[in-house]
Amino acid sequence: MSAYFSMCGPRYTDKQMKLILLNKMSKGRGADFSKGWLSKLADNSVPDEQKTKELIVYDFEKVFLPTDKTSRAQAALADLRMEGPPFQGDFHRFHSSFELEAGKSGVEDKNILKDLLRQAVSTDLAFKMTSLENEPKTYKDWLTKASQFYDVTQRLKKLHSGSHTYVPSGGYRSSSTSHRDPNAMDVDTLQLSPT
């Protein structure tokens, strides 16, 4: 909220900024908060020093921001997402942060953690997991299976990116020529023809 006020500062008057911000809060608890402050701003019997931006910000933080470490960690855990920054879809980096936030949050119910994890992983991974004939039942099984799916997907992406070529005589080899002797004969592509 403070960022909003500082961002809009030069363009609007103090009163305009307060009204614009409060009118943007139109649903749920935000609407109730907004109505209370709008009526306070309109009330001429309330002194102007009780209608400052700073007091609106203070009340907003008091009402909407968690105050203790556990609540903040629970909020952080609920907001954690595998896609986008800072994880960029990397399940293993995401999983480490998820476990850290889960420990801080004090949430011990593994079913709740499993549901939070399901909401936080990439849409593609969540779809694969929920499409299984026997979806894992426990949090630990869900983590294990999600990790396996992620690893397989990453290997398949590498194969499809053209960084490896299938060689009939035994497996995959890099298509990069930087690891080859330029004077060597490529026997894998050699074809015998009748003379």
99-136: per-residue pLDDT in tens? 988 888 888 888 888 888 888 888 888 888 888 888 88
* pLDDT surpasses 60 at 51: yes
For residues 168-178, average pLDDT:
52
Single pTM value for the model = 0.49
Distance CA 168, CA 152 (A): 22
What pLDDT, on the 0 to 100 scale, is given for residue 148? 92
Both tokens of 102, joined, read 């889960």
